[in-house]
Amino acid sequence: MFPWHQYVLGLIFLIAGVTHFTKSHWYERIIPPYIPAHKEVVAVSGIAEMIVGFMLLNADTQQMAAYAIMGLLILFFPVHIHMLRNEKASLNLPKWLLILRIPIQFGLIYWAYQYV
C-alpha cells in the first residue's frame, strides 16, 4: 500500500499520457520548432508518461519511475519556456499561469523525489 499522494502522482502521469493522444494537437503546438517530428515526440512522451505513471504504483519499479519522472520534468522545461515566449504556443493561457508553471515543475520534481 502506497501513500495516497503517490497514487495521485501516478494518476496525474497516466492522465497526462492519455491526453497526449486525445488532445495531441495541443501538445504539438507547444513543442519548440527546433525539436523535429512533433507528432512522434508527442506520442513517445505520452507513452513514457503512462509507463512511469504505472511504474510509480509498483513497489519494484517506483524508484526507477521517480527518477524517470524527474528526468521527464527536466526535459519538459524548454516546452514551458517556449510557451512563455511564443504567443501561438501559449494556448491562450494567461501569462501569470505560464510563469507559475515553472516553479510548479520544481514542486513536481520534489514530489517525485519523495519516492526514490
Q: What is the pLDDT of residues 5-39, one digit of tens each?
A: 999 999 999 999 999 999 999 999 999 999 999 99
Instruction: Name the grid cell of 58.
Output: 509498483
What is the rounded average pLDDT for all residues in the chain? Answer: 97
50 is in which domain, residue-wise? 4-113
What total of structural domains would you count in the chain?
1
Distance CA 44, CA 39 (A): 9
pLDDT at 43: 98
What is the pLDDT, as a whole number, of residue 70?
A: 98
What SS3 class is residue 69? helix
Biggest CA–CA distance in the chain, Å, is 44
Close Cβ partners of 68 (under 8 Å, ≥ 6 residues apart): 48, 51, 52, 55
Under the banding of pLDDT at 50, 70 and 90, the label for residue 92 is very high
